[in-house]
Structure 1
Amino acid sequence: MKNKKRILVAPLNWGLGHATRCIPIIYALIEYNFEPIIASDGVALSLLQKEFPSLSSIELPSYNVTYAKKGKNFKLKLIKDTPKLINAIKAEKKATKAIVEMQNISGIISDNRLGVYSKKVPSVFITHQLNVLSGNTTWLSTKMHGKFIKKFTVCWVPDAKGEINLSGKLGHTNSFEIPTKYIGPLSRFKRSMVEPTNKILILLSGPEPQRTLLEEKLFSELKNYQEKVVFVKGIMQKEQTIQVLGNMTIYNFMTSQLLEKTINESELVISRSGYTTVMDLAKLNKKAYFIPTPGQFEQEYLAKRLTKLNFVPSCNQDEFTLDKIKEASRFEGLKAFDIEINYKKLFNLF
């Protein structure tokens, strides 16, 4: 039997979304007889190691990005962190060069890691942000992002190409110089028709300190809530912990299988409006309530857009109260357009 081609799969460690949307890609690579090698850092790496314990994994240099405590300082903090980011990208570029040579890599799939590419092998960049929103500097952040993406062979956008899509202006632009393929929304989940057993599921993730701030807020809002609540904190630890407080069951994290089952069994999901969450909830046809990360333009845009389209209500973190979730019944909920991803065609690149 000939050796399997090795494909390096490298998601950005920024919340859990980039790692989780790589899960279906990794399964597809295995199915088409490739050998995926996982490369990331922090919680993204540990999530994928738990999901694929038999695959090789490599730790990449960390971007070490945290959010500002106040939303309005988000951009400022990011600008301040830019030298750190540039250094991290240089470091991961150097690491990638060594990995490609030492591990005999035949192709690269990078989910938003700007330095993980090689001139020697086909390199794919996955992003839903062809336009990088940053308020009045959107033109600049988009241009800078594009400059990095140009170094890759092709860009995969996890969305539909047409009018009806999930990412709106983030993933759709008139002028983009890099070969781009709309591959359809990515989700590790499958929908199952079950009667809901939980009234609310809370799904948290994303960088600190905002993750903790929302956790504290939701705890105080829900402590006297009478119906059944499942609370997933989105903290990756060695062991899973489960705590029961009254009508609330609290998990530090869930693996894919349990999370899929729990979302399917929940009437309403309260979460951030990160793009991966949007794709997952659309796949499972869920009603949701979105609270975007303060100051994160992309999440604020997605939440506003989906509220305007009458899919999902949303509000700012400061404004959230338990009463708000009553609005969800007036909204349609998220729906997926069933696009089968043609992995065979995508993997022809390798």
Structure 2
Amino acid sequence: MTEQPVDLGFARQVLEEEGRAVAAVAGLLDERFVRAVELITACAACDGTVLVSGLGKSGLIGAKISATLASLGVPSHPVHPTEATHGDLGKFRKKDVVIALSKSGETEEVVNLAAILRQDGLEVISITGGGDEPSSLERIASVPLTIGVDHEAGDMPAPTSSTTATLALGDALAIAAARRISFTDADFAKRHPGGSLGGMLRPVMDIVRFKAGQNLPLIDDHLSVAEALEQAEKNDGRRPGAMLLVDKKSGSLTGIFTDGDLRRLVMGDPASLEKPVTDVMTRSPRTLPDTSLVRDAITLFREKRQDEIPVVDAEGRPVGMLDVQDLIALKLVRD
């Protein structure tokens, strides 16, 4: 085998061809796609399971589609078609739905499994390459979906465009089903408590260390800078990197004064400590509602580079302050 130099132009061509294959699938969607989503959501509503089956590369794509469905609130498992017909048919129940994958629509093991399950009254959604004449799997299926791919990117014998298009269509089914059942970020977080995805979907108050009434003093904004600092120093334990200033009457947030602000003030004119803190604080700072998710804090940090973020209730009263170090400690952002 003679090694050839890496051709970036050829690689780009492969990606462009696969991109066009995915885009073409969008043009094939019709009422059959709607019916497939309805079958999937009805299955989930009656505590059924969406079982996804394919052989070879289609089986690997099917496992990913199944995993996406499960993560979006639709119970799902991949099933090997050969094992299913050799003792695993007991996994299938009448309230389940099957998604059967085969580019040719003629893969013997998949077609046989689909035929058995249709005879048992199960609904079968097929995903095939399509063609001028319906394949065996399309004729068996309750809802036949096609990807319309007759050419693989790169002119290689291995499936490329067809598997990419199948995966994209599976994603569209899963996401459309999740949207139909009103699957929320909170639902997703319950299924992904670990890792960065789970971390970003946690309520922001779960990770706030400095909380009003506990270890975050709220300073009246009528004080001088020196008086405000004196009030802040009465706080036991670790001191936050900023003071939150509030209106004495309403308790609403009026400003923030950070350690950096103090340093610049003292270096410029030490006598400025006697100034009213309202003269030197940042008025109406950017805040997060206490109903926010961690991802909202990450967005604010990345877009505005704000290291201390006040968290306020519906009336604008501070309930806590998020320090960027909290996000760094959770490995949700980099220092």
Q: TM-score under structure 1 normalisation?
A: 0.27
More helix by share: 2
| Structure number with larger C-alpha Rg | 2
